[in-house]
Amino acid sequence: MFDTIVIATDGSDSVGRAVDVALDLAEKFDAAVHALYVVDSGEVDSSPEAVRTDMRNALQERGGSAIVDVQKRSAGDVTAVVREGRPPNEIGDYAREIDADLVATGTRGRHGENRFLIGSVAERVVRTCPVPVLTVRQLEGDGEPTTRGA
């Protein structure tokens, strides 16, 4: 059912459960795993010109750390990929390029407070990705703030 799974990670704590769920699926289906981190070109381009190179380098370093985290959690091989662009576009493009069967992502990332139910990147991936997307929310008590009411 699943031969190739892309884990879209941003290195945030909230993506940890998504990584674990995706790796569990990959193990059950003996699927190839690709860990993908996208350096957000919008974030880089909107920074002051004097610090853009440093910003890009810092985000690439963060991406490398995020990929290493996925590799450490996995019992098998993980293809490591760091790309630059708009995260939702790059995630969908990469999934299409490698003929992925599934993209897994967390529901909130590094900017988790800017969306109420689902992060803006995750929402756009769900809406535009050419393959099925598994969104995994962090459980209460895993470091994610909870909102009660209405």
AA letter at 35: A
Instruction: Decide if 144 is inside a domain.
Output: no
pLDDT of residue 76: 94
Instruction: Decide if 142 is inside a domain.
Output: no
Instruction: Decide if 124 is inside a domain.
Output: yes
Domain of 119 in residue numbering reads as: 4-136
Distance CA 26, CA 23 (A): 5
Instruction: Decide if 143 is inside a domain.
Output: no
CATH code at 11? 3.40.50.620
Best CA proximity match to 137, nearest among 114, 100, 112, 101 = 112
Instruction: Decide if 28 is inside a domain.
Output: yes
CA distances from 70 to 42, 52, 127 (A): 25, 27, 25
**Number of domains composing the chain:** 1
pLDDT mean over 17-30: 96
Q: 42-94: per-residue pLDDT in tens? A: 888 888 999 999 999 999 999 999 999 999 999 999 999 999 999 999 999 99
Average pLDDT, the chain: 87
pLDDT of residue 109: 54
Instruction: Decide if 30 is inside a domain.
Output: yes
